[in-house]
Amino acid sequence: MKDRVQKVLEAVRPFLQADGGDVELVEVTEDGIVKVRLTGACGNCPMSTYTLKMGIEKKLKKEIPEVKAVEQVV
């Protein structure tokens, strides 16, 4: 599943990079939790929670039904 998650993140990445940010895959747990690190401008943006849940998590869940949640790590 990690490879599939990485492919979805690659599709999302240009949108984040356009605003000076990026996303890094940290871990995919056996129970479907995807852990990511937001970097650059996304790392300290007040909208990062919205980006994480309504952007990244929504896209991952749509493309990969086994994904249960996306969590941000520091």
pTM of the model: 0.90
**Stretch 6-26: mean pLDDT:** 95
For the domain that residue 59 is a member of, what is the CATH number?
3.30.300.130
Quick one: pLDDT at residue 43?
A: 86
Quick one: pLDDT at residue 59?
A: 96
* Number of domains making up the chain: 1
Quick one: pLDDT at residue 45?
A: 85
Q: 22: which 2 tokens?
A: 């990026």
**Is the Cβ–Cβ distance between 69 and 57 less than 8 Å?**
yes
* Domain range enclosing 15: 2-72
Question: What does the pLDDT look like over 22-68, one tens digit per residue?
Answer: 999 999 999 999 999 999 998 888 889 899 999 999 999 999 999 99
Burial of 60 (0-12, 13-18, 19+ CB in 10 A): buried
